[in-house]
Each structure stands twice: as structure tokens, then as C-alpha cells.
Structure 1
Amino acid sequence: MTTHVYVGPSLSGDDVLDIDPYAVVHPPLRAGDLLALRTGPDDAVVVVDGAAEGGRAQPDEFIDVLGRGTRVLGAAAAGALYAAELWPYGMQGVGAVFAMYAEETLDCDDEVAVAQTDGPGGPRTPALVDLRWALAHAVTEDLVEEADAATLVELVRTLPCAGRTWDDIVPLAHKVSETTGAAALTLRRLFDEQPHMCDLQRQDARTALEYASRPPHAWRPFAVVPPQLVARTVHLERRRAARRPAAPDARPLPPSTASEADVLSFQQLYAPDFPARYRRFALALIAGERLRADERGLAAAALESARRRGLGAGLLPAAAWAYWLTPRERRDLSVESQLLFLLVRSLRGTAGAVSWAGVPEELRGPEEAWAAGERAVTAADCLNRRADGGRAPVPVRTHLEKVWRCTGRADLTAAARDRGFACLEDAERAARRFVRLAEVRGPREL
């Protein structure tokens, strides 16, 4: 069992490991981070904090993880917000902050927002929800009048997150009234001297971690909409492929790590057998057959499927043949072979998209080739960073002519389509990343 924890600044990594020494600690959650995880029913994900930069994680990312049977808990800060939104799908909220959002006592995201006042690792501004919590204690203990507590909360709400420092709050409170200023000083003293009474987010985060460490059988979510019934869209699969490290056992942390999509793109460009792999994959999609059939069987099934849809050789206009086939292919190939090339090449959708979702096993190729592709992607990115602003590499089209051993736009376009690209321009965009590496290694050594 592995527990993945997205945290900071509500708790530190050391705080997490004090509670669960085997937890995997991640920075605050960003868009796409959950898609990089490989989790199963025995694992748990605890979301405490979210990053201000990098975008907000989307609901389908959580639903995807829940659909694998993984426990997903949210608490304290961004985690409480996500849980209040996604509890119908099985995400579990923990703690008082989640409860306040779920009951709509709180209705604004900035209740849990904090800012680092002196850069990363520096002191942070108190969260508004923590101020509320501390003031509730202060009113109960007759340290602050209820009216002054309410005035102080409204005052802090008017300040931007980065401006909610004590040096800003106390002078402004004194401008309102003497008693409100005294309440602000009392509140500051509570935060300094009795943090256990004030840091509600920290308490909720610790509770969530302790709960996540319980055996899985102790967790029974109530889901109105089972995540298994939520569609896994092509868009989601592509986002996952772009975020998952190419190596299954790699930790999904460094942004420089080669993703599955990166390595598949490299193979799409440079693997000598990729056109054959893609042809079988495309014919199987057209035929509605699994890849168990041999090449001849897939071809026959694809032709029959096309005929049923009105795509027989005698039913297509001359412009279609000219668009999808080279002059040599129209001159030398049989009508059946021409139609098969047309079907495979036209399977693609619009430019910039791919005709598959994620990283299908049928297109990955041998593991040793996959590992070599991962190394090539990493080397290309490193070389490009070092050469930034230096001499421009050879034109991408010249590079592809050498790699694919063909010349002229018609032949290059056909070669690109045979590798699953919608057009030559798409192939050029993908290959631009590797031109410098090819100059160093030679195009045949990629």
C-alpha cells in the first residue's frame, strides 16, 4: 500500500513522514499531477494543498483515480475544496474545514488561501478559516467580544491574500475601533502562543493522514455516481500520456522527466517498424477486430467494413485518390492496396490530434526500443537547453528526408501519414525537438 500526499504549506514533508514514514510526499497539487500516478485499490491519495501556479486539477482527474479503486481523501486547504465538490463520486472529505464547505458555512475559495511572505519556506499569512477558528475560541473564552470578532473577520476578508499579515491587520483594526484593534492584538497573541488552538488546517491535515493510514477495509465511501460509470474521454487519455513518466516505476515529480507521450512521439518519428505497427492498429480500428488476426485477415475485414460504409474503390472521387496517395502509388499499386493505404491514412482526425488515446500497448513496441526512446527524449531536451540561442539546426524537413529516405512533399506527406500524423506539418512540429540530437548522433543513430 502506498499513500501519496500532496502538501505544503499546511504541513511539511517531515510532518507527513512523522505520521506515515512510508508516504510519498508530493508538492501541492497541480493540474495533471494525479494523471501521472499509477495507483490501485490498495493505495491512497491525500490532497491537502494545491499550487497557486500550474492550474487547478480537474474533476475528471480525481474521478479517474477513484475509478481505479484508490482511496482519495481531501482536507485542510485545497483538499477540502476538492472533497466538497467531489464527494458524490467517492472522494472523502476529512476535518472541520471540509465540513464547513460541504455544509456551505464557507462559500469562498480564499478562506483557505495563504501566501508566503518571504518567498518559499518563509512565514505564511494566516488562512481566513484559521482566523475564524481562533476567534471562535477567543469568544468562547471571553477574550474577544463577538461583535469585534465579526468585524475583524469582515476586515480581513477585504484584504488580498498576500496582504493578510499581522503588520497589515493590526493597524487596520485599530483604525476601525479601539476594541477591534485590541481583538486583533489578542488574536495575534493566540497564534504566537497557542498555535494548537488556531491552526485548524494543520489539525485537519494530520487527521486525514492518520485516517489514510488505516487499512483499506475501514474505508467505505458513499458514491451517488460510481466513478466507473464516468466516461474516460480521449482528452483525458491524452493528458495522462503527457504527464506520466515513460518508466512505470519513475516517481511522477520532475517536470523534465520524459513522459509516455514523449516516447511514443519519438517512436512514431524514428522507429523503423512504426508504420507497420500503426497500419495493424489502424486496420483493427477500421475493421472492429482485435489485433489477433493476421495482416491479411485484418486487411480483408477493414475492406469489408469500408465497403459497408460506402467507401468502395469505385465510389470515391478522383480527388480523394490524389489527396491520399502519391503519383507512384496510384501508378504502381493494385486498387485494393491503394484503398488500404487511403483507409489507414485517412483514419486521423484534425491536424494536431492523434488517432489513438493515451499510449496503446499495440503501439509501444519492444521494451528495449521504448527504453532507448526514453533516453533519446531526455538527451534531446538536455541538448536543446544547452544550445538555446546557439546555431540553428538544419531545417526539419531536410532532417525528415534523411530519416525517412524520401524527398519531395508528396512522399514526405505519405510517410508522415503512414506513421499516424495527420499531415507533414504535424510531423515537423514533433521532429523539431530532435533535430539537434540527430546532428550529434547522426539520423540513423536516433
Structure 2
Amino acid sequence: MMGVDAILFIGPSLPERESGEPPGFERRPPAAQGDVYRATLEKPRAIGIVDGYFHGVPAVWHKEILWAMTKGIHVFGAASMGALRAAELHPFGMRGVGRIFEAYRDGALSDDDEVALTHGPEELGYPGLSEPMVNIRATLDSAVSVGLVTDATRIELLALAKVQYYQSRTWETVLAAAECKAVRAEDVAALRARLPAGSIDQKRLDARELIDAMVCLLETDPAPMQPDFAFEWTEMWANAAWLDERPGTRSVDGGDDFDEQVLNELRLLGPRYFDLQERALLHAFAVGEISAPEMPPDSEDVLKQVDAFRRARGLTRRTDLEAWAAAAGTDMAGFERMMAEEATIRMAAQNNAARLAVRIVDQLRLSGDYERLAARARNKVERLKGRKPLNSPRHLLLERHFQRLDCELPGDIDVYAAELGLPNTGEFQRLLQNEDIYSRMMEEAGEEQ
């Protein structure tokens, strides 16, 4: 695998001197908007989000996390901004870790200020200048459990802490407010004696738990993440300023990112892609890189394969299909068996899309077509640099594309995109949008495509 195993966005929750990330992890500062997208371009197996910016800098976007998962990356969140995003996105497959995540997920917490704090610069190790509410809650829960303070005192102190602005909230300001409000004096004194040594840093505990969870996953050599949602290519996403940093735009002279751009050119050729995909699949089976799916395809997958076969050949009526089977020297039972096998092959290809991508590019090299498509990919990258998609209607993009291929429009575009090794139809639509504007530019310039 190229690059690092895991990228970890972390800051004040667990300073570098205390984090002890294992080999293969790359530590990065707290995440801002666009950082997770950029990390996705580097193709790590996992991304962990602990800390992120709340104010002054646009926060990490939900959609870039969803994008990362559609690229096969396992995304974890805990402790701070990561816990917030994981609570919001765990139904889509983001992995939340720790008590803070669980509290947000279950509705016990909802406010951003629960995890927000003011801190010093990275160069000094992010020294905390305020106290997060989640740490105050954890410390008071512990104090009640050991009989240091009463539960009534805990409730009063939480209320006093909660009304304070997060940037100025500290144990000193909370206890000073408690003395002014005549909170049980012996409890306040007991807490003063216990702090700061006896405070519970729940954010730090959860951050460590996230790192452990990521290590456990990576030790199993997991398959790429396979989300069950469709990524929607919206206008807001298309217009994100950092979206120009797509795979291939930073490496037009070679490397993994550029191979992905060349592979996209092949995907636009439709049937040619599937020919090379079958060869790549055969090679992968032959060398033992992949194996047959453990479970057979379900009836719905087989029916989709049958529908695609019939549409491609114009076998619209049952009698047409039976006549085809007779001419091919088989019967309907034989046809159904072949369709089940084809569906199994498609399942194997989709389950191993990331592994097959490398072998498909190798087959492209062996075929002699790599150089031509690489030149086209380079030219497209240069021509489209800084250009925004036209956002043409999806149905028009699809019609034009399949007319150019001289192929019938597939019955299920989601299935077709998956068969191309793409994570969703949104990515397929992006390829078509780029191809649409590139083709128009080349036509206007009178150049060959």
C-alpha cells in the first residue's frame, strides 16, 4: 500500500508528547473544512478525527467525511469534533468511539460547547486555557461516585459551569461562582483540594480509545469500507474551493493518483473497461489475490444481471429470450445458471474494486492503450484546471454519454456505476460532467479528442 495506514486529526485532546501513535499513523493538526477531503486523496486505510476547528475557521464538513467513506476509507471519530461528527454520521458508517460520542449519539449531549475549549499554540503542545464541559461532567460524576460531593452539589456546579462562556470556563471560575451562590461549602473545599490532580480528562481518554480502535481494525487487514448510501454530487459540493485538488491534479507525471485518472478515462469507454476488468479479475484469481464470494448473489442481483443482459440484446419478451436460449444451445435453466454465475463474477469485482483497480491498469498497459489514455488524462487535467462543472442535467449527461458509446442506456445507473468500480452514481456523474465540458472545449478548439 502507498502512503500511511492512517491519518489522525488531533490536537489539544491528546498532545503529541502523550499520544504515542503506532507506526503507520500520521498525526495532523485539528481538522478544518477540506482537510478530510485532502487526506482522502492520499488513500489511507483509515482516518481518525479527534479535534477540529469550531470558530474562526470553517468546520470539517459532513459531506467530505461521507466522500472519504465512499472511497473505501474507514473513518473514526471521538472526544471532540470527531465525536460530534460521528454522532451525526454513524448511521452512514462513521465509527464513533468513547463516552462523549455515546452521549451525543444518545441525545444526552447536544451543544458544541460541551467539547469546545481555548488552548495555546501547537508549538507549546496545545496547553488548555479553559475547561471543556465534558471534562467537568466526568470529574463531578467521579467525585459523586467516591462520596467526595453530593449529587445535589454536582447538579448545582454543572448548572453554574454551563452558563459560562466556553472560552472563559475554568475550574477556578466554576468554584468561585459556587462560593458566591453558597453551594455546600465542604463540597467546594473538597473539590478544591482534589483539583487539578484529581480531574478526569474524558476527552483524552476517548482520544486514546480511538487510537486503540483504529489499531485493532488495521491489524485485521480490513477490506475497504463499503457504505450502503449513494453520495450525491450537489452544486455546493461541486463548487467547494478545495475540490479542485482531485486525484491526478497534483501528479500528472505519474503515480497512483494519475493512474486513477487514466482509469477514469477507461471507465468512460464502457465496454472496453469491462473487457479489461474481466482479464484483471482472472489474473487476481489465478495468483490467489482474491477468492470467490463466500455467499452467493441474492435473487435481486441475479435479476439485475438478467435485465442488463436482455436490454443489451433487445430481448424484451419472454419468447425472445427463449428463442435466444434455443439458438445458443441451452434452455432457460441453463440461462438462469449462467446469469447467477455472471452475478457472482460482478459481486467479486465489486467486493474487490480497490485491489482490481491496480490490475486493470496493468492490463491497460499490456494492451498498449495506456499511453493514449494517459495523454488524454493529462490534457484533460490541464484544460479543466480551475474550471467548474457545467452542472448539466443528469439525464442529458447520461443520454449523451451512451450515445457516444453507441450503447443502450442501462436500466440501473447505480448498478452500472458500481460495475465500473465507482463508489456511487455521484462520482460517475462527476466523470460525465468533466467529460462533457472537456469534449466541448476540444470541439470548439477543433482538436482531436
Change over 3 Å in CA distance of 1:91–1:4 after alignment to 2: same
The answer to whether the Cα contact below 8 Å between 1:134 and 1:190 also exists between their aligned partners in 2 is no
Corresponding residue for residue 106 of structure 1 = 109
- Aligned in 2, Cα 1:96/1:146: closer, same or farther, shift over 3 Å? same
Q: 2:28 aligns with which of 17, 26, 29?
A: 26
Distance change (3 Å), C-alpha of 1:171 and 1:71: same
1:209: which partner in 2? 211
Distance 1:159 1:286 in 2: 55
Cα distance 1:166–1:209, how it changes in 2: closer, same or farther (>3 A)?
Answer: same
**Is 1:133–2:138 an aligned residue pair?**
yes
Write the distance in 2 (CA, Å) between the matches of 1:130 and 1:82: 19
**Counterpart amino acid of residue 65 in structure 1:** A
| C-alpha contact (below 8 Å) 1:10/1:77 kept by paired residues | yes
Amino acid at match of 1:192: P
Equivalent residue, structure 2, for 1:233: 234
Q: Which residue of 1 aligns with 2:196?
A: 192
2:81 to 67, 78, 82: 78
Per-residue Cα deviation, 1:55-89 (whole angstroms, up to 9, x for no partner): 12222211111111211111111111111110110
Aligned to 1:45, what secondary structure does the other structure show? strand
Pick aligned residue for 2:48 from 46, 49, 57: 46
What letter matches 1:126 in structure 2? E
- Asked if structure 2 preserves the Cα contact closer than 8 Å seen for 1:46 and 1:73, the reply is yes
Contact 1:5 1:45 in 2 (8 A): yes
| Cα distance in structure 1, aligned partners of 2:157 and 2:385 | 64
| Cα distance between partner residues in 2 of 1:210 and 1:6 | 15
Deviations 1:363-404 (A, max 9, x none): 99xxxxxxxxxxxxxxxxxxxxxxxxxxxxxxxxxxxxxxxx
Identity within the alignment, %: 24
Name the SS of the counterpart of 1:163 in structure 2.
coil
Given that residues 41 and 246 in structure 2 are in contact (C-alpha distance below 8 angstroms), is that contact kept between their aligned partners in structure 1?
no
Contact kept? 1:6, 1:28, Cα under 8 Å: yes
The answer to whether the Cα contact below 8 Å between 2:73 and 2:224 also exists between their aligned partners in 1 is no
- For 1:226, give the aligned amino acid: D
Query: Structure 1 counterpart of 2:400, which letter?
Result: G
CA distance in 1, matches of 2:152, 2:144: 10
Which of 166, 173, 198 is the equivalent residue of 1:168? 173
Structure 1 stretch displaced more, 112-121 or 140-149 = 112-121
Q: Give CA deviations for 1:123-172 in whole Å, capped at 9, x if unaligned.
A: 33121111111111111111111111110000000000111023322221
Is 1:145–2:150 an aligned residue pair? Answer: yes
- 2:7 corresponds to 1:4: yes
Q: After superposition, what is the alpha-carbon deviation per residue over 1:307-335, rounded to whole angstroms, capped at 9, x for unaligned? A: xxxxxxxxxxxxxxxxxxxxxxxxxxxxx
Indicate how the Cα distance of structure 1 residues 189 and 128 shifts in structure 2: closer, same or farther if over 3 A, else same: farther
Paired residue for 1:325? Answer: none
Alignment partners' CA distance in 1, 2:17 and 2:180: 41
Paired residues for 1:400-411 under 5 Å: none
Q: 2:7·2:44 contact (CA, 8 Å) conserved in 1?
A: no
Distance in structure 1 (CA, Å) of the matches to 2:129 and 2:119? 4
Q: Which residue of 2 aligns with 1:62?
A: 65
CA distance in 1, matches of 2:194, 2:430: 57
Separation in 2, partners of 1:264, 1:168: 61
Alignment gaps of 5+ in structure 2:
258-377, 391-395, 407-428
Give the counterpart letter for 1:200 in structure 2: Q
Structure-1 separation of matches of 2:430 and 2:109? 43
**Structural mapping, 1:282-297, within 5 Å:** 288-289=400-401
Deviation for aligned residue 1:32: 1.4
Distance across 1 between alignment mates of 2:114 and 2:385: 51
Query: Which residues of structure 1 form unaligned runs of 5+?
Result: 252-262, 279-283, 298-354, 365-413, 420-446
> Contact between 2:113 and 2:133, CA under 8 Å: does it hold in 1?
yes
Offset of residue 36 of structure 1:
1.2
**After superposition, where does 1:388-403 map in structure 2 within 5 Å?**
none
SS at match of 1:106: coil
Instruction: Count matched residues.
Output: 284
Task: Name the CA shift for 1:45/1:188 in 2 (closer, same or farther; >3 Å).
Answer: farther
Give 1 or 2 for the bigger CA radius of gyration: 1
**Matched letter for residue 230 of structure 1:** F
Over aligned residue pairs, what C-alpha RMSD do you find? 4.4
Q: How does 1:115-126 map to 2 (within 5 A)?
A: 115-116=118-119, 121-126=126-131
8 Å CA contact 1:4–1:23 kept in 2: the answer is yes
- Taking structure 1 as reference, are residues 145 and 237 closer, same or farther at Cα in structure 2, changes over 3 Å only? same
Asked whether the 8 Å contact 1:5–1:46 carries over to 2, the reply is yes
Deviations along 1:382-434, one digit per CA (max 9) or x if unpaired, are xxxxxxxxxxxxxxxxxxxxxxxxxxxxxxxx999958xxxxxxxxxxxxxxx
Partner SS, residue 148 of structure 2: coil
